Homo-oligomer: A and B are copies of this chain.
Amino acid sequence: MKAKTSREATRKPAARQGKSARGRPPTHEVATRAENLLDIATDVFLDQGFKGASMSEIARRAGASKQTLYARYPSKAALFAALLERKAAHLFEAIGPLGEGRGLRDTLIHCGTEMLDLILSKDARGVHRVVIAECNEFPELGEIFWDRGPGRVRAMLASYLRAQQKLGNIDCGEPEQAVEVFLGLLVSGASLRAWLGLPPTFARTPVQRKAWVHFAADTFLSAMEANARR
């Protein structure tokens, strides 16, 4: 087994271009610079992992000094926590409110599409990988991520299904269970493969993805009907 050559010193100052860089930065840049620093840090952590990422490298790539880094975040772990929380929330908030003028099936399809795209996206893969890797050493990480991300989506879907059930549009038993069924058959194989760095089996092209989402929605709906009949 041989490691890929990562850490390929990609010079990218990205802040204070041209200027002599030293000295207090102008006030109007300071917010941008802070954001940029977090962005760079996110990049580095997401593809090198917590232990693999180095503070010096982050500073260098952000065009900042280590002192500035440590002025903003007291430790590597703190920086990591800050950026992960931001990223997790930001990623999953793409899956907006459900319903919104759509019928039941269309809502499932819409939400399913976004969910599948999300799971297969590079950023989401990175976040999952890092969180899964490090949640043993930092147990609260798993909880934070679940609440901001997958858990939030599940809660939204469950409350949507509960509402639809009250309206008589579906008979799905415990909505929480039904959500697990839907998301499970939508996303499970694809997500494991994605986190292992392998291409998806059934959702490689956009067309295939669309077909799979439709298939999942319909399978789910008929399973719920059948369950209701039993």
Contact = CB atoms under 8 A, between A and B. Distances in A.
Interface of A: 1-4, 6, 47, 49, 51-52, 77-78, 80-81, 128-143, 145-146, 150, 154, 176-177, 180-181, 183-189, 191-193, 195-198, 201-202, 215, 218-220, 222-223, 225-227, 230
Contact of A226 (B2, B130, B197, B225): B225
Copies of this chain per assembly: 2
Given A132-B132, A146-B196, A223-B226, A177 B215 contact: yes
For the residues of A in contact with B, the DSSP-based class is helix
A135 B3 CA distance: 10
11 contacts: A1-B78, A4-B138, A132-B132, A132-B196, A135-B197, A139-B197, A143-B198, A180-B185, A180-B202, A185-B188, A222-B230
B188 A201 contact: no
Contacts of A131: 196
Contact of A129 (B132, B180, B183, B227): B132
Contacts of A183: 188-189
A204 B222 CA distance: 28
Nearest to A185: B184
Given A1-B77, A129-B133, A133-B133, A202 B185 contact: no
Give the 7 A-B CB pairs with smallest separation, nearest first: A133-B133, A222-B226, A188-B188, A184-B188, A142-B196, A223-B223, A184-B184
A219 B222 CA distance: 9
Contact of A193 (B133, B146, B193): B146
Given A180-B185, A195-B132, A197-B135, A219 B225 contact: no
